[in-house]
Amino acid sequence: MKLDSSGLVGRHGTVTEAATPIVNAITKAGGRCSAGFITASRKPIRYAGRRVKAVEDGNSILLTILTKLGKQEIRVYGLKLDVVQTVLAGLKGYEIAK
């Protein structure tokens, strides 16, 4: 799935290819995920990897997944921040941002 201006930008329930392993791992750990806002980059970012940031936001945890094509926000319910960070640390190919 590609992020471009042809249709994936905006607020809807689509999970991008970069976010799918994260959603699967969090669901397996007992959490619930809600796909959020997708923002496509106008110019590809020079950073070629995948970066994820977890922030506690009220009764949920906001995950921001950044790739060279754009970013996606995912809300996680039912897990605490330390559990989510442990799940994220177990995934290969993602850099944990602070």
The reply to whether 3 falls in a domain is no
pLDDT above 70 (res 8): no
Q: Which domain holds residue 83?
A: 10-96
Residue burial 13-23, b: 16+ Cβ < 10 Å; e: rest: eebbebbeebb
Residue 5 lies in a domain: no
Question: Treating both helix axes as pointing N-terminal to C-terminal, what angle do 81-89 and 20-28 enclose, rounded to 10 degrees?
Answer: 120
pLDDT at position 7 over 90: no
Query: What is the Cα–Cα distance from 53 to 61, expressed in whole angstroms?
Result: 10
Which pLDDT value is given to residue 68? 81
56 within domain boundaries: yes
Total domains, the chain: 1
Residue 92 maps to a domain: yes
Is pTM beyond 0.95 here?
Answer: no
62-96 pLDDT, tens digit per residue, is: 999 988 878 889 999 999 999 999 999 999 989 99
